[in-house]
Amino acid sequence: MPPRTNPLRLNPLQLRTLAILQQLARYPETSTKNEETGEVMITNLPNPHGNHFHCGDAVVASKDATGLRNEAVYTALERKGLARSFYPLGIALTLDGVVYDTGVSDRILHRADH
């Protein structure tokens, strides 16, 4: 039987937020990795300009990022074991959070074709 998509049953807002946090976790400008635990602390959240913001090598629509500053989303990700919340200062993705397949990255992280 193939692995279940979204086994932790995250809602759409939680999935979008986690996908953006995973993207931010890839860049030293926005995150710090703990080599011993695999956790990645994200403290530098991007500020939108207009209807979008830059997130590493991608652009994200502001409408897809409403969970980035939502304490309830951070709490849900923590409860599911994907993160440790330090709201409003930041969030640390656990190793499980870093590798969780959200299934939405290709829809919300827009990259240039060149």
3-class secondary-structure state, position 75: helix
Residue 71 included in any domain: yes
Residue 28 included in any domain: yes
The token duo for 79 is 């409860």
What are the φ and ψ backbone dihedral angles of 12, each rounded to 5 degrees?
Answer: -55, -40
CB atoms within 10 A of CB 106: 10
pLDDT value of position 114: 45
Residue 3 included in any domain: no
- Stated pTM of the model: 0.94
CB distance 27 to 78 below 8 Å:
no
Residue 17 included in any domain: yes
Residue 43: CATH number of its domain: 1.10.10
Model pLDDT for residues 67-92, shown as the tens digit of each residue: 999 999 999 999 999 999 999 999 99
Tell me 82's DSSP state.
S
Domains contained in the chain, number:
1
Residue 89 included in any domain: yes
pLDDT value of position 1: 61
Residue 114 included in any domain: no
Residue 55 included in any domain: yes
pLDDT value of position 102: 97
Residue 99 included in any domain: yes
Model pLDDT for residues 5-59, shown as the tens digit of each residue: 899 999 999 999 999 999 999 999 999 999 999 999 999 999 888 899 999 999 9
> What is the spatial distance between Cα 13 and Cα 22, in angstroms, rounded to a whole number?
14
